[in-house]
């Protein structure tokens, strides 16, 4: 989508707010010619491809099929927004004072979107019958994500660290920070996507 980067309505020279990320993700989701060639559904694993990345903005396309699930994760320092381009997804978000078995949840259908801050912990799952395609925008660009596992079923996520966080970080060689160097792959690990070269920090 590089030839259309200039057409993207977005601020420059600073990180984007959640509302601005929604605007970016929605713009891209509404123009299928920007990403149709990147769509690739794999029943075994969700697939992803980076559409754009610069100093302040990181945009990915994800493809989902039945039972695909990111697991609970955070985005380290990045806020984000998801626009559903095709099909449906379900977001479950942990909130203070509620059991990890009782997250707040929403179904996002084609044409809808949701956002999250850097402090939020959520999971995204495929929903509905057919495959789904979602556009994810992050700012600042993703460099690290945390993946959570509950050590006690039903325990509260807000207190006494019942959730264990493992962390994966990405390294971005200088040449690959260019928006002309998309990354792609599918999830072979149990943490969240997007992925790429990573190593566990803990
Ligand atoms: Fe996420």
Report the alpha-carbon distance of residue 151 to residue 27 in Å, rounded.
Answer: 40
Report the alpha-carbon distance of residue 177 to residue 160 in Å, rounded.
Answer: 38
Dihedral sign, Cα of residue 12, residue 22, residue 29, residue 71? positive
pLDDT tens, 27-75? 999 999 999 999 999 999 999 999 999 999 999 999 999 999 999 999 9
Domains along the sequence of the chain with CATH? 2-200 (2.60.120.10)
Per DSSP bridges, beta strands 79-86 and 73-74 are unpaired
pLDDT of residue 87: 98
Q: How many CA atoms lie within 13 A of 25 on its CB side?
A: 34
Q: What are the φ/ψ torsions at residue 40 (nearest 5 degrees)?
A: -150, 110
Report the alpha-carbon distance of residue 183 to residue 126 in Å, rounded.
Answer: 22
Give me 15's structure tokens: 């990180």
pLDDT tens, 5-40? 678 899 999 999 999 999 999 999 999 999 999 999
Cross-strand bridge partners of residue 104? 93
pLDDT tens, 92-112? 999 988 888 889 999 999 999
Q: Ligand 1 mean position to 192 CA, how many Å?
A: 7
Q: Ligand 1 mean position to 152 CA, how many Å?
A: 22
Is residue 191 within 8 Å of residue 166, measured between CB atoms?
yes
Average pLDDT over residues 165-179: 51
pTM: 0.81
Residue that has been written with the tokens 């998801």 in this structure = 82
H or E stretch covering 34: none
Q: Ligand 1 mean position to 175 CA, how many Å?
A: 25
Is residue 1 within 8 Å of residue 33, measured between CB atoms?
no
pLDDT of residue 5: 67
Report the alpha-carbon distance of residue 41 to residue 127 in Å, rounded.
Answer: 15
Report the alpha-carbon distance of residue 114 to residue 123 in Å, rounded.
Answer: 13
pLDDT of residue 35: 95
Average pLDDT over residues 155-176: 51
Q: Ligand 1 mean position to 58 CA, how many Å?
A: 13
Alpha carbon of residue 61 to chain centroid: 9
Q: Ligand 1 mean position to 78 CA, how many Å?
A: 10
């Amino acid at each position: 989508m590089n030839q259309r980067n200039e057409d993207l309505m977005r601020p420059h020279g600073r990180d984007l707010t959640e509302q601005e990320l929604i605007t970016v993700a929605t713009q891209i989701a509404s123009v299928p010619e920007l990403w149709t060639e990147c769509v690739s559904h794999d029943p075994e694993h969700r697939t992803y491809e980076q559409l754009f990345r610069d100093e302040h903005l990181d945009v990915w396309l994800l493809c989902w099929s039945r039972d695909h699930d990111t697991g609970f994760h955070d985005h380290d320092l990045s806020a984000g927004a998801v626009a559903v381009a095709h099909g449906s997804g379900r977001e479950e978000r942990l909130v203070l004072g509620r059991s990890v078995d009782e997250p707040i949840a929403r179904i996002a259908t084609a044409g809808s979107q949701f956002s999250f801050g850097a402090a939020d912990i959520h999971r995204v799952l495929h929903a509905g019958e057919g495959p789904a395609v979602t556009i994810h925008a992050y700012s600042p660009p993703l460099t690290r994500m945390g993946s959570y596992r509950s050590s006690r079923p039903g325990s509260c996520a807000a207190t006494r660290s019942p959730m264990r966080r493992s962390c994966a970080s990405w390294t971005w060689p200088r040449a690959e920070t260019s928006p002309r160097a998309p990354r792609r792959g599918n999830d072979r690990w149990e943490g969240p996507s997007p992925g790429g070269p990573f190593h566990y920090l803990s």
